[in-house]
Amino acid sequence: MHVVRLHGSGDLRLHAEPIPVPAAGESLLRVKAVGVCGSDLHWFAEGGIGDAQLDKPLILGHEFAGITQNGERVAADPAIPCLACEFCLEGNPNLCNKLRFAGHEAEDGALREMISWPERCLYPLPDALSDADGALLEPLGVAMHAVDLAHLKPGMSVGIFGCGPIGLLTLQVARALGATQIIATDKLAHRMEAAQAMGATQVFLSHDGSENAEVWAASGESGVHVAFDCAGENAAVDTSIAAARAGGKVILVGIPADDWTGFTASIARRKGLTLKLCRRMKHTYPRAIRLVEQGLIDLRSLVTHRFPLAEAAKAFATAQRKEGIKVVIEP
């Protein structure tokens, strides 16, 4: 079979390797769709993410769907928690200190034709969901977990600061839960158009903070109940804190390129803000499937580029340039 391995920053290579042999409790999948995620781009551009660094050629790809040997179409949860540590037993498998994750550190991901994956991490896909939809259930799960952390209630106002795929999915989940005002910002005009099409009530192009006054005015000069930083850039974090109302919440979802987040402490302190950081997701797949199946979340419109496995380098370059919205590779 063919696989794509990352050998160093910007260095993706196609290899021929043996088909994996499933271990006990695993199923062999023919991979049908893999989404290129922002965290994949960190690995691609920087040779690592945070304190996790590349020490051997790695197969990236954690947003994926495939077909089992029995012909069943499935989406795969890329996280394999141990289910025995205190965090797992407390109901927080995303915080498992022994967690294995596809395309991260020593765990090869899905940029290959075949993969063995634990059966407990596979979720059958209904006919209404395409293979690409199945792959995008993972970023949808991240968006759902972010909104879960916010304890969002119907009638609340939210800000979405950064409208890449995660931001647009967070926007849609907030809308589905009854947010009545959704203010969105991004540096790219085509993402603002997408945000408006997906339910944003006001959109503003980001210019490193100069839009903060417009966002504050749009909130009625009282601020939003919940602000989501989905960009992973300090400018978006500053906008989130500036836009949040006194006593509000700021959810940090984005991953900063330099592994550093900073903000003006006095503003956050005077407002008495609650800051929460989003660590992947937990217990979201069944709910995510139902939301998409019932038409409450649109995944399909997010996919703007598709590439075969042999053109993975081109796919990553396209995603890195932030063309379109979501890039999918179809092995």
Q: Can you tell me the distance from the alpha carbon of 233 to that of 258, in angstroms, rounded to the nearest whole number?
A: 9
Task: Say if 2-136+299-330 and 140-277 have the same CATH topology.
Answer: no
Q: Does residue 258 register a pLDDT over 90?
A: no
Average pLDDT, the chain: 96
Q: Does residue 242 register a pLDDT over 80?
A: yes
Domain locations along the chain: 2-136+299-330, 140-277
What residues pair up with 4 in beta bridges, in sequence order? 14
Residues 6+ apart with CB under 8 A from 73: 32, 65, 66, 67, 124, 125, 131, 134
**pLDDT value of residue 257:** 84
What residues pair up with 33 in beta bridges, in sequence order? 65
Q: What predicted TM-score, i.e. pTM, was given to this entire model? A: 0.96
Of the listed ranges 2-11, 49-58, 172-181, 306-315, the least confidently predicted one is 49-58
pLDDT tens digits, one per residue of 36-81: 999 999 999 998 888 888 989 999 999 999 999 999 999 999 999 9
Q: What architecture (CATH level 2) is domain 2-136+299-330? A: Alpha-Beta Complex (3.90)
Please tell us whether the domain made up of 140-277 is placed in CATH 3.40.50.720: yes
Q: Does residue 208 register a pLDDT over 80?
A: no
